[in-house]
Amino acid sequence: MSVSARFHLALPVTDLEAAAQFYGDLLGCVRGRSSERWIDYDFWGHQLVVHLVDELADVASNPVDGEAVPASHFGPILPWEEIGPLERKLADAGVEFVIEPTTRFPGRRGEQRTLFVRDPSGNHLEFKAFRNIDMLFASDGLDYP
């Protein structure tokens, strides 16, 4: 599979202007094409499209490392040195963390810094960074909690 391939993700939102403020103004994603019902964004090199809908469905969760992780979520994998500044930016903007910034699996091959937030429509985003990016798909043969 090509490492340079980009993904396209379409998300439902209930307020297009609030989505524009969150993805464009707060996160700094560059706005692309748009209409009265959708907006394209450059989401860390990937195409994110927010589509206006009337309502959203509830999201199920799974237990991961003692947290109820929303089963439906997305987000970029950042370099380790960029996750701390993003954590502070979100906190300073008053964004509520669904799951507070934490280090998962400390000392293990998959050690990562992670945090979860919701956009204004309730879509869950996970921002994460691996201490060693080479461990992104590595398996150590152990089951994780």
Judge contact between 11 and 123, C-beta under 8 A.
Answer: yes
Q: Which fold is adopted by the domain 61-145?
A: 2,3-Dihydroxybiphenyl 1,2-Dioxygenase; domain 1 (3.10.180)
Domain boundaries, the chain: 1-54, 61-145
What local confidence, expressed as pLDDT, does residue 139 receive?
A: 67
What local confidence, expressed as pLDDT, does residue 143 receive?
A: 55
Instruction: Band the pLDDT of 66: cuts 50, 70, 90.
Output: confident
Residue 1 has pLDDT above 50, yes or no: no
Q: How far apart are CA 114 and CA 81, in angstroms?
A: 13
What local confidence, expressed as pLDDT, does residue 71 receive?
A: 87
Q: How far apart are CA 21 and CA 120, in angstroms?
A: 9
Q: Which string of DSSP letters, residue by residue, matches 20-65?
A: IIIIIIIT-PEEEEE-SSEEEEEETTEEEEEEE-S------EEEET
Say what percent of the chain tops pLDDT 90: 69
What local confidence, expressed as pLDDT, does residue 105 receive?
A: 85
Q: For 91-128, how does the pLDDT look when each residue is reduced to its tens digit (9 = 90+)?
A: 999 999 999 999 988 888 789 999 999 999 999 999 99
More confident residue, 50 or 70: 50
Q: Compute φ and ψ for 19, nearest 5 degrees.
A: -65, -40
Pick the CATH number of 1-54 from 3.40.50.10110, 3.50.50.60, 3.10.180.10, 3.40.50.1000: 3.10.180.10
